[in-house]
Structure 1
Amino acid sequence: MAEDLIIVGAGGFGRETVDVVEAINAAAAVPSWHLCGLVDDALTARNAERLRARGLRHLGSLEDLLARESRPRYVVGIGSPSVRRRIAERLDAAGFSATTLIHPQATLGSEVTVGAGSVICAGARLTTNIQIGRHVHVNPNATVGHDTTLANFVSLNPSSSISGDCVIEDGVLVGVGAVVLNQLTVGRDAVVGAAACVVRQVAGGSVVKGVPAR
């Protein structure tokens, strides 16, 4: 029987996460998930219409979710690592359990581990011996090279590329089309700007952009 699931966040990535759920169900002999709906504290009129057009339910705010007697599985479909962390900590403390969603058209090689709450989208490519933490987002067509670690609450935006033997620490956001070269560490809560090329270590909490990234 399909397991109940709620997505937190009805913006762009939240609705892309719906695509991942639908693809997982379509590829299975028996659907894995019953998507109850999406939770969003600040649903815009435009996003409300987008949900209606897809037949998706808005289930109210995070407080409404926390007040439910049932405890369905969840993922947080919000791109900001810091916001995702705050929400996940509240839900975990209230007895909710995160699940992991991997699109059937993502490619995962050998010895790849993926933590709870993570979402891996179509076209993502992860090679070998990769550790992915909790609540990580790997957007469409992002790539992760061998022997790399993505810690908790990392976001890899579309078409970004992490080379081999890298460490991407907690809460890092790597922008669209950005590249991190081999054997580098990007420190906790850093931001790598879109289309940047990281050629040296990145200190925690910093913002780097450009080619080479500074």
Structure 2
Amino acid sequence: MTDEPLVIVGAAGTGRETLDIVDAMNREGAGIDVLGVLDDSPAHAHLERLAARDVPFLGRVDDWLSTRTERSGFVVAIAWPHVRRRVAEQFEEAGHLPSTLVHPKAILGSQVSLGAGTVVYAAAQISTNVNIGRHGIINAQCYVGHDSILDDFVSVNPGARISGEAYCGPGVLIGGSATILQGLTIGGGSIIGASALVTKNIPGGATVKGVPGRWRDCF
């Protein structure tokens, strides 16, 4: 965490789940001051849900960045890696600092490295000697096996299982309840569909579906 007050980008589900993580951390004494939430096109229902929990809506990203004079911490709570990358670059170019958030009920093994801006949900389990890059999202009830490397901007959706010694390249999205077997490489920008079983290395930019997983060129 940074010492600066925190702004969360994203008013949809991922953003409000991130607020829940902050609340849980604050109950454990973290003392995180949330300025509010930014979103370029929030649904009316999402704004109502923010208002119900007394969290300020701060407006559009560009407008806020152009007027904010003090440095802030930030988390980009947007599930799609390519969007998260674009927004994170805007904030970092403006001099703001990415914050790392870990729910107190996440389980982290020894020698785990989490990059700046990464968010780890409750009931996620990260085994020993795991490296997770910048601006990752490790969702609820995920498992990341020993000696695995997840590069920058990787999203791991609820219930996904990554076996030991796997490598996920930058911007990989792993769907809910998907499984990646031991020692495999998932190329950057690939999308692993929900409940897919990955049994071989996957090239960059592929979309994988099925059991066993096949990428798009095979359909």
- The bucket for the TM-score relative to the shorter chain is over 0.9
Cα deviation for residue 127 of structure 1 reads 0.7
Q: Residue deviations 1:56-105, cap 9 Å, x none?
A: 11000001221211121000000000000000111111111101000000
Q: Deviations over 1:135-160 (max 9, x none)?
A: 00000000000000000000000000
User: How big is the shift at 1:32?
Assistant: 2.3
Contact 2:165 2:182 in 1 (8 A): yes
Tell me the TM-score normalized by structure 1. Answer: 0.97
**Cα separation, 1, equivalents of 2:72 and 2:86:** 18
Aligned to 2:189: 189
State how 1:34-113 maps to structure 2 within 5 Å.
Answer: 34-67=33-66, 68-113=68-113
Partner of 1:200: 200
C-alpha distance in 2 between matches for 1:34 and 1:143: 30
- Deviations 1:14-70 (CA, angstroms, capped at 9, x unpaired): 100001100000011xx4210110000001111011111111110000012212111
Stretches of structure 1 that go unaligned for 5 or more consecutive residues are: none
What amino acid is the match of 2:58?
A: L
Aligned twin of 2:28:
27
| Deviation string, structure 1 residues 104-133 (Cα, Å, up to 9, x no partner) | 000000010000000000000001000000
Whether 1:138 aligns to 2:129 is: no
Q: Supply the distance in 1 between the matched residues of 2:65 and 2:99 (Cα, whole angstroms).
A: 17
Q: CA deviation at 1:206?
A: 0.5
Asked if 1:9 is matched to 2:10, the reply is yes
Question: C-alpha distance in 2, partners of 1:33/1:161?
Answer: 30
Cα distance in 1 between the residues matched to 2:35 and 2:65: 15
The residue that corresponds to 2:123 in the other structure is 123
RMSD: 0.8
- 1:59 is paired with a residue of what secondary structure? strand
Asked whether the 8 Å contact 2:4–2:71 carries over to 1, the reply is no
Q: What secondary structure does 1:88 align onto? A: helix
Paired residues in the alignment total 211
Q: Which amino acid aligns with 1:70?
A: E
Unaligned runs of 5+ in 2: 215-219
Counterpart residue type for residue 82 of structure 1: H
Could you tell me the percent identity over the aligned residues?
Answer: 46
Quick one: which amino acid aligns to residue 75 of structure 2? V
2:177 is the counterpart of 1:177: yes
- Which consecutive segments of 4 or more residues in structure 1 shift more than 6 A? none
Contact in 2 for aligned 1:3/1:32 (Cα 8 Å)? no
